[in-house]
Structure 1
């Protein structure tokens, strides 16, 4: 019996037992090479302040940031492409545009030209772009009064395509919205569209303006009213799902791509989302986070950035410092969270195999007696 066990242990020692993940020392063995291809850091209280000031990793979303500036003044502002309707009232005996039976003259609608003007009969082009409807009305009346002292002018303006914003998608009612009020903000526009779709988790707001794209989590807009920027003509707004993700592999509960459920995600939350550490397989002292940085982020002295592009962070979830540090270490998009295999797993496998052999041998011995 002992001979069989010895033969089995010799056979096991000479081969690699089946595993679902690498061991920590297998991942880190190259760090002692003369020219390692990565740099290794232990996640602890001493590391956290430095890492917080490092540039973002290669997986970070390049479309972030948010334009500053609050909402505009309440009311409409005329712009090129708007349609303007004029009505002129006359009193007294000498009338130029009206008759005694019809004291008002409704002029044909006029579109604000590319130069910002509309044509007024007997006056000529009058520049109205950039004015409120009331200011434009008063300007036209002042010029008409030079010929018709008793004239009173009414003005009605409808925003055109150049004085509108587009609510592209991710809401109940997308479409083009005229800027009837320059105090309209991003959240106000989304509200006009019926709010974000209920199926979008951690909705992100994308704003396209002047050839640039911006993105921010809707929750940040709700939490900080100062970020609820005012809209400008031509802006395009959409609500979309958070496309950021991290990868969970190894001896964890899940091995899959996991989307960010909120704006900021800590390492301990990522481990929890990955199903936690498998008690029978994983090494709680060897939870690794693999991240790649752009070349511009590398610092030869390791200050202000990693000393190499490829970085392996190690977390020890068996110590108080390790757990607290994991709660404050921020996961970045496309990080790989790897739960390494416990060294004890091989021992358990060997003992299990030996136990099976002894069981088979005992069964055979009992059968021959």
Structure 2
């Protein structure tokens, strides 16, 4: 009877082995995916190993990152002194030591003049003097100019000046910060990071924040990460700028025998294969083939060339069992919309077979066979 049981178990093993393609699995094996590319003439995709030797050439291949690219300004030195601009509101206090009474009336020494808005032409109106251009001047320079102009009518006159920034000296912090709103520029030395700090900073939940500055008809853009890493990129903001902070919307997809099958956001400007592995929780210890990590990528027809991708679809293979593969993985970048696929190890199929055989023995014992 025991011999019959063993024979039946052997038959189970043979049946399972001959129908391995029907075994329950969570991912394909590497050979099943890349096998069609063995005939390079008929294959509609290419297979490219990622190694240290191939890395220089691979890094020269066209990028498939279609995220809009914007230029950025370098850091330039600013001044702690503001400049008057159209829309600023000026208040004057005019002191007449001679008591001429020309502005304040007989016997009066002080004449306050408030709410003098700088016109679009950059001028303010002062009685007897007329329109006086002050735009582009510092408050001290404007005060001296007004005082000199009035001195011809009021000998020995003294002028005090205070200014409130208008639209021309205000930056709009539109979104992506704790306190969006209009922020007056108190000087010409306000940088992007100092403005963001005034606005309460960027919420921690915002993924890899991107900074855009709308200045007239131009758009400048960069990542917040790059401003932190390179202080010389922390550019000055100008009156009339609109600043927007948005999340990085780039993603890649992780499937197969990975720690997490999901759409993964880019947490920083550049994500390598090694970074991607950490983001997805690595590959499955019991299921994945560490020699068969695949990155599936599509290239536009315009990118196909000699010395670059020769097919619109390319499967990059990474061997995580060798130092060469691991070093290459730490340098090879993931692109938006890539598919990172961890293939299943053939050993997993063998384990499945033995598991089925074990169940068969258990069932035979239960039935007394």
| 1:36 shift after superposition | 3.1
Gaps (5+ residues) in structure 1? none
Aligned ranges 1:38-49 → 2 under 5 Å:
38-49=45-56
**Cross-structure match for 1:195:** 201
Query: Residues 239-285 of structure 1, C-alpha deviation per residue, up to 9 Å, x if partnerless?
Result: 44333322211001110112233333221121122121212211111
Q: Is the 8 A contact 1:38 1:312 kept in 2?
A: yes
Paired residue total: 362
1:56 is aligned, of 53, 63, 78, to: 63
- What is the rounded CA distance, in whole Å, between the counterparts of 1:87 and 1:35 in structure 2? 86
Query: Structure 1 residues 165, 86: CA separation in 2 closer, same or farther (over 3 Å shift)?
Result: same
Q: Is the 8 A contact 1:81 1:112 kept in 2?
A: yes
Q: Is the 8 A contact 1:76 1:181 kept in 2?
A: yes
1:219 is aligned, of 217, 225, 246, to: 225
Q: Is 1:6 paired with 2:11?
A: yes
- What is the rounded CA distance, in whole Å, between the counterparts of 1:208 and 1:246 in structure 2? 29
Q: Is the 8 A contact 1:71 1:185 kept in 2?
A: no
| 1:299 shift after superposition | 4.0
Does 132-141 or 249-258 show the bigger shift? 132-141
Q: Is 1:149 paired with 2:152?
A: no
- What is the rounded CA distance, in whole Å, between the counterparts of 2:301 and 2:216 in structure 1? 29
Query: Residues 283-328 of structure 1, C-alpha deviation per residue, up to 9 Å, x if partnerless?
Result: 11110112233444x14212xx433332221100011101111112
**Cross-structure match for 1:163:** 169
- What is the rounded CA distance, in whole Å, between the counterparts of 2:195 and 2:160 in structure 1? 29
- What is the rounded CA distance, in whole Å, between the counterparts of 1:75 and 1:130 in structure 2? 11
Which secondary structure state, in structure 2, belongs to the residue aligned with residue 109 of structure 1? Answer: strand
Aligned ranges 1:320-359 → 2 under 5 Å:
320-359=323-362
Q: Is the 8 A contact 1:63 1:213 kept in 2?
A: no
**Cross-structure match for 2:317:** 314
- What is the rounded CA distance, in whole Å, between the counterparts of 1:38 and 1:212 in structure 2? 40
Query: Structure 1 residues 72, 37: CA separation in 2 closer, same or farther (over 3 Å shift)?
Result: farther
Q: Is the 8 A contact 1:71 1:231 kept in 2?
A: no
- What is the rounded CA distance, in whole Å, between the counterparts of 2:311 and 2:215 in structure 1? 36
2:78 is aligned, of 72, 83, 98, to: 72
1:301 is aligned, of 281, 289, 306, to: 306
- What is the rounded CA distance, in whole Å, between the counterparts of 2:146 and 2:301 in structure 1? 61
| 1:26 shift after superposition | 2.1
Query: Residues 1-54 of structure 1, C-alpha deviation per residue, up to 9 Å, x if partnerless?
Result: 436633663465245222211221222233225343333211111122223333
1:110 is aligned, of 101, 116, 119, to: 116
| 1:188 shift after superposition | 0.8
- What is the rounded CA distance, in whole Å, between the counterparts of 2:99 and 2:247 in structure 1? 67
**Cross-structure match for 1:236:** 242
Q: Is 1:268 paired with 2:270?
A: no
Gaps (5+ residues) in structure 2? none
1:361 is aligned, of 346, 360, 364, to: 364
Q: Is the 8 A contact 1:5 1:357 kept in 2?
A: no
Q: Is the 8 A contact 2:288 2:345 kept in 1?
A: yes
Query: Structure 1 residues 308, 112: CA separation in 2 closer, same or farther (over 3 Å shift)?
Result: farther
RMSD: 2.5
Query: Residues 182-208 of structure 1, C-alpha deviation per residue, up to 9 Å, x if partnerless?
Result: 111111111112222243354443333
Query: Residues 85-137 of structure 1, C-alpha deviation per residue, up to 9 Å, x if partnerless?
Result: 22322232644223453212222422211222121211222222222112222
Query: Structure 1 residues 289, 172: CA separation in 2 closer, same or farther (over 3 Å shift)?
Result: same
- What is the rounded CA distance, in whole Å, between the counterparts of 2:12 and 2:23 in structure 1? 16
Which secondary structure state, in structure 2, belongs to the residue aligned with residue 168 of structure 1? Answer: strand
